[in-house]
Amino acid sequence: MNLRVGLLVFNLPERGTYFRAYHFARDLARRGHHCTLIYTAPHERRRFRVRYEQSGRLALVAAPDALHGSLRSGWDPWAALARALWLRGSRFDLIHAFECRPTVIGPALVATRTTGTPLVIDWCDWFGRGGSVEERPPGLARAALRPVETYFEERFRTCADATTVINHTLRQKAEKLGVLPESISLIPNGCEAPDAAELTPGEAARTALGLPADAPIIGYAGAIFARDARLMATAFDRVHAARPDARLLVLGYTNIAIEKLVTDSSAVLRSGPLSAADLRLGLRACDLGWVPLCDTGANRGRWPLKISSYMELGLPIVTTNIGDLGAFFARYPAGVATAPTPEALAEATLALLADRPRREELGDTGYRLAAGELSWARLTDRVEAVYLRTARQA
């Protein structure tokens, strides 16, 4: 049974949940389904732009948005209307809405209610009250956004015929809102591991990037909440005090200047924005990857994509036991999950930096899992099962 599936995200391309929706759509298209992924165009304000992959079975639709910069994040009424009108000319067997911001849930509900198409809603971030809105600086903006974000995040969950969630915290929240437990499927983010022969040796990566050959290098990739940045900086100060030659390599776009938070700013190396290939090269130069998370609702309600990025490159991970992470690394020994304190994070990091065989063991385990059980293709098996079951029940 081949399906026509519409997938909607509010994200810009290659940002956040776009990756999750794209990988599912791509692997479904490889199986013969026809998928249309609608996302927010980086700059377009009036027109839809469409390109195709997978021999035409995957349509990637860049949708217009009238807002600018960081405001292009799912709130524009014009963008919601434009998407709804665009969907009127399409026919799907199922629609998968990723989160419930207006540019996603509005068009999805219009399309499903006018045609009787079943609706699946994905929940992979806790945005509203108690979640990431609380990570904003105190003030009018946070106070104003909290009820709006909470309303859209929670109001429409029971409209779904099926629900996918990224972790147990969001499963429990969905059930409390009235979503039937049997309609919920927990599907984490996956990995796309390159062939082992394509992995650049660590020494070669350091040489290519001009990094010291023998210094312990801790890698961190991507954006970070302010509280998590302070945790990381304090932990790194402890690591650096014990190992003065240690370096923290911050890769890609990072919204907080970590070097201003540590005692020795020269020990923090920042790359700035990188291509996917250069990001991978940078990570291969590291001894281990950090995912420092404080015990907050925002962190309990998400699953950082950087975990996948580290695992698919064979990089051992040191993180904190928040949300599902403790149970995950107990089941999948690709890293270590510590208490969410700088002392525990630094202690675990120093122990791994001193134990190369252990690092290699954890990294190899992560790579095998990324190439197998936790690959996007294997996780798409679960998504496909949800789609087929939901379509048959419609």
Query: Among 150, 185, 183, which residue's Cα sits nearest to residue 165?
Result: 185
pLDDT tens-digit map of 81-119: 999 999 988 899 999 999 999 999 999 999 999 999 999
pLDDT recorded at residue 71? 87
34: pLDDT strictly greater than 80: yes
361: pLDDT strictly greater than 90: yes
Pairing of strands 58-63, 49-53: antiparallel
Q: What is the pTM of this model?
A: 0.94
- H, E, C per residue of the chain: CCCEEEEECCCCCCCCHHHHHHHHHHHHHHCCCEEEEEEECCCCCCCCEEEEEHHHCEEEEEECCCCCHHHCCCCCHHHHHHHHHHHCCCCCCEEEEECCCHHHHHHHHHHHHHHCCCEEEEECCCCCCCCHHHHCCCCHHHHHHHHHHHHHHHHCHHHCCEEEECCHHHHHHHHHCCCCHHHEEECCCCECCCCHHHCCCHHHHHHHHCCCCCCCEEEEECCCCHHHHHHHHHHHHHHHHHCCCCEEEEEECCCCCHHHCCCCHHHEEECECCCHHHHHHHHHCCCEEEECCCCCHHHHCCCCHHHHHHHCCCCCEEEECCCCHHHHHHHCCCEEEECCCHHHHHHHHHHHHCCHHHHHHHHHHHHHHHHCCCEHHHHHHHHHHHHHHHHHHC
Average pLDDT over residues 37-54: 96
Residue 213's CB is within 10 A of a number of other CB atoms, namely 8
pLDDT recorded at residue 89? 81
69: pLDDT strictly greater than 90: no
Measured in whole angstroms, the distance separating CA 211 from the mean position of its chain's CA atoms is 28
Average pLDDT over residues 61-70: 93
pLDDT recorded at residue 221? 96
Mean of per-residue pLDDT scores for the chain: 96
Q: What angle do CA 27, 389, 87 make, to 5 degrees?
A: 65
Residue 104 vs residues 195, 322, 354: alpha-carbon distances, Å = 35, 29, 48
Residue 69's CB is within 10 A of a number of other CB atoms, namely 6
pLDDT recorded at residue 269? 96
Residue 141 vs residues 131, 328, 342: alpha-carbon distances, Å = 15, 35, 30
394: pLDDT strictly greater than 80: no
pLDDT recorded at residue 70? 82
Question: Which top CATH class is 4-124+156-190+376-393?
Answer: alpha beta
- High-pLDDT (> 70) share of the chain, %: 100
Distance CA 97, CA 94 (A): 10
Distance CA 253, CA 201 (A): 24
Domain with CATH 3.40.50.2000 in the chain: 4-124+156-190+376-393, 196-371
pLDDT tens-digit map of 155-179: 999 999 999 999 999 999 999 999 9
pLDDT tens-digit map of 1-21: 899 999 999 999 988 999 999
pLDDT tens-digit map of 226-240: 999 999 999 999 999
- Map tokens 């090269």 to a residue: 281
pLDDT recorded at residue 170? 98
Q: C-alpha dihedral over 222, 225, 227, 233, to 10 degrees?
A: 20
pLDDT tens-digit map of 253-291: 899 999 999 999 999 999 988 898 999 999 999 999 999
Q: At the topology level of CATH, where does 196-371 sit?
A: Rossmann fold (3.40.50)
pLDDT tens-digit map of 289-321: 999 999 999 999 999 999 999 999 999 999 999
Average pLDDT over residues 29-36: 98
Cβ atoms of residues 296 and 273 within 8 Å: no
pLDDT recorded at residue 197? 87
- Map tokens 């005692």 to a residue: 263
Residue 150's CB is within 10 A of a number of other CB atoms, namely 16
